[in-house]
Amino acid sequence: MDFKILLETLINNVIFKLLLLLILTDIIFGILRAIKQKQLNSDIGLDGLIRKGSVILSVAAFSIADSLVHLNLIAFLPIDITNVLGVKQIGMTEFIAVICILMEAISVVENLQTLGVPIPNWVSKVLSDTNKKIQNKSNEIE
């Protein structure tokens, strides 16, 4: 297994890039939110960075797993998401990344709302509804 090729594959993955962008955005707006609420705390910030790092490492681990076992997990995502992504196949890396992207997007929207940025109600509703659909899909599997 050539880790250089695996790293290049991960770095060139558009969904992974989107996840990294949302993580960075969430960190920035989370810090601004904490400053605005006068709740800047290094322990909370470090905990958040550890969680974000864990997400990135998890996606990287799934990328390695994808190189070993080629699964198509598209059926586990709501059709709305797969239509937006425009894909017919999705591996473990993308599957986990899409779920993490949704969580990050929800957090970014919450931070923006707390900062007083007007967010249309439909944005929050779409994110919330999509999250519920993914939760329902996972409950169906159990």
pLDDT tens profile 48-80: 899 999 999 999 999 888 888 888 888 877 777
The continuous run of DSSP H or E covering 101 comes out as: helix 92-114
- The number of helix segments (H) and strand segments (E) in the chain equals 6, 0
Above 70 in pLDDT, residue 26? yes
More confident residue, 39 or 20: 20
More confident residue, 82 or 111: 111
Above 90 in pLDDT, residue 85? no
Going by C-alpha positions, the residue among 4, 14, 16, 12 that lies closest to residue 96 is: 16
The mean predicted confidence, pLDDT, of the chain is 85
Neighbours of 108 (CB within 10 A): 20
Task: Give the pLDDT score at 33.
Answer: 92
This prediction has a pTM of 0.79
Q: How do residues 86-106 score in pLDDT, each as one tens digit?
A: 777 888 888 899 889 988 998
